[in-house]
Structure 1
């Protein structure tokens, strides 16, 4: 059975926005992120981080540095009582200086490549999933993959290039408001009600 997921951008959405940050000691949750993760976990969403990490291609840090970042994310999620299913990084940039990462690719947002890869690896139903990010490239990546989308309107988007796939399903000021909206969406409520009915039927049959 396919699972539903919440895809989360890393910097500026899940974590405070520290440019090119691969120092685990400087990784801090954004406002409301802890409560949001707990809420997603309580509603059985698979949680996935999807992030452009062009610092690799630009020579700011090595790809290997992202291993410690992922380990720290797993620790931070666990401290909230939830599991991080996976972290997916795009190390590319077409104007980079480090081969082989200095290329155009299908995984750098707004391309949907990493979302599609995560869906294959974790058996995710993209139609029942959400992508949450703080810029419109996140929104486009999620929409192109078939997800519903939430824009965290916290000032990090500055270009506002409009296009149909760059228009979010929802627009909220922070991650916690996003979580409340997602778990309160009609489809989410329907799934919870259906699951509860199934449990009741099972008990009756016993």
Structure 2
């Protein structure tokens, strides 16, 4: 684990991220808050690309909790059976859809606690929804952010909660809204787990990773 970088270095890193991609976007396709919740819940231990392939047709016919209930669990499975753990995920999607209809008038709540009370929705999923739909600067820490945060020293921590706190505590507030997207995209396409692309990395000179590739 690298040492926590200082304020000025972190500001320079995110200034570069911003210059390279001013408006980073999440890669999960969705049409409203409900389909975003479903997409993020389905993405656990799966790739965004794989989820998008499965949900593209699904969301054309089931873009509300009631329509999902009308489709039924077997109908949902037909659409998502290419995704890992699809049976358990299908059960959770049906359960959360029922709760949304019965307790929230079919609307997706916009508090972290309410979101986390839904089956299959953990803190990371809740934070993604809060950030992407309601533009709240919540930080959803996945494996990419955990790796980048600890390699670089931007937001080191022994677990995802510690990394989330490090982001909130150390990244300047004007970069908080897009911070987790910049970090995810950097980890997904540049600071890869096995073969990080250090020679072409835009923050190579600021990063504390000791095993930089040549």
TM over 0.5: no
Larger % of helix: which? Answer: 2
Q: Select the structure that is richer in strand.
A: 1
The TM-score normalised by the length of structure 1 is 0.30
When Rg is computed on C-alpha atoms for both structures, the one with the higher figure is 2
TM-score by structure 2 length?
0.29
